[in-house]
């Protein structure tokens, strides 16, 4: 059994493709020691991917009931993946702090475009390219910096345990221009941003969602050495939307962490974040 935990997952309450109990049964089947649900938190407008405000209580009660039902077989946890939208709608807001959550993931998916409208940048590469051209003055560098600056505002506001897919924009930015992620300004921004993650002592997930198809971890493998140097806390999450994908990429990520000299991952044990040696 190899650090079989996952804290970033979706289910039918948001854009996941099965009922939460189906994910639980699969996690038990694969001998996971703990499994956490992190549906996309409600936003102040409707999307096809986030939990509806009216379903929030039902989500909380459903996961808490599963936690009890399966407590002799697996440690289940209740979380949310919360967008940093503005200085009032973000993980630190009372709405999310007052819920009985075991943990919170802070993520950025939406960035203000040149017209002040929110643009979803977590989209397929072709659509991303089109948005950069039509909504961001065709300025990839400025868009990438705006994305990381927003994540840094989220870190300053706090109120979350895990930073979600820390550099997800790297995949779409690389599709526009493969050289972007090795340019000096990009690497300097990553260093500034990762230094703040280390300072705030939040856990950085190694998100494996795109690994099987695209070969990308978020954060990128190129930064694992920096993560070690800065002493950032890490864990491996699959960001699964399908039960059969809950363990995708885990072994590769754990091997890569080990190769980079990172020796432990942070797991929940009886509700407490605990460093555990990578096996």
Shortest distance in whole angstroms from residue 36 CB to Zn ion? 12
Beta-bridge partners for 236: 206
Shortest distance in whole angstroms from residue 209 CB to Zn ion? 7
173 or 261: CB nearest Zn ion: 173
81 or 113: CB nearest Zn ion: 81
34 or 107: CB nearest Zn ion: 107
Which residues sit at the interface with Zn ion, rule CB under 5 A? Answer: 81, 107, 239
Q: What is the DSSP string of 178-218?
A: TTGGGSHHHHHHHHHHHHHHHHHTPEEEEE-TTHHHH---B
Between strands 233-237 and 34-40, the pairing is unpaired
Shortest distance in whole angstroms from residue 239 CB to Zn ion? 4
Q: What is the 8-class DSSP label of residue 172?
A: H
Shortest distance in whole angstroms from residue 107 CB to Zn ion? 4
* Helix segments in 15-163, DSSP class H: 20-29, 56-69, 94-97, 125-135, 140-157
75 or 81: CB nearest Zn ion: 81
80 or 140: CB nearest Zn ion: 80
Shortest distance in whole angstroms from residue 137 CB to Zn ion? 26
3-state SS of 234-261? EEEECCECCHHHCCCCHHHHHHHHHHCC
């Amino acid at each position: 059994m190899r650090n079989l935990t996952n804290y970033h997952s979706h289910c039918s309450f948001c854009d996941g493709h099965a009922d939460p109990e189906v994910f639980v049964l699969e996690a038990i089947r694969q001998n996971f020691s703990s499994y956490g649900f992190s549906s996309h938190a409600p936003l102040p407008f409707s999307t096809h991917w986030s939990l509806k405000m009216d379903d929030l209580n039902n989500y909380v009660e459903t996961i808490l009931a599963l936690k009890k039902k399966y407590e002799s077989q697996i440690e289940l946890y209740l979380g949310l993946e919360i967008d940093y939208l503005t200085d009032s709608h973000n993980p630190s807001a009372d709405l999310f702090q007052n819920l009985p959550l075991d943990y919170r993931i802070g993520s950025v998916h939406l960035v203000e475009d040149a017209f002040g409208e929110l643009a979803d940048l977590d989209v397929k590469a072709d659509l991303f390219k089109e948005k950069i051209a039509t909504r961001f003055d065709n300025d990839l560098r400025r868009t990438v910096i705006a994305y990381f600056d927003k994540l840094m505002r989220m870190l300053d506001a706090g109120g979350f345990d895990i930073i979600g897919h820390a550099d997800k924009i790297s995949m779409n930015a690389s599709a526009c221009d493969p050289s972007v992620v090795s340019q000096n300004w990009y690497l300097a921004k990553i260093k500034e941003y990762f230094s703040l993650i280390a300072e705030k002592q939040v856990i950085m997930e190694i998100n494996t969602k795109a690994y099987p198809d695209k070969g990308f971890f978020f954060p990128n493998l190129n930064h694992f050495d920096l993560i070690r140097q800065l002493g950032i806390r890490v864990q491996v999450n699959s960001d699964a939307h399908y039960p059969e994908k809950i363990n995708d990429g885990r072994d590769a990520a754990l091997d890569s962490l080990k190769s980079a000299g990172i020796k432990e991952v942070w797991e929940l044990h009886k509700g407490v974040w605990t460093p555990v040696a990578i096996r």
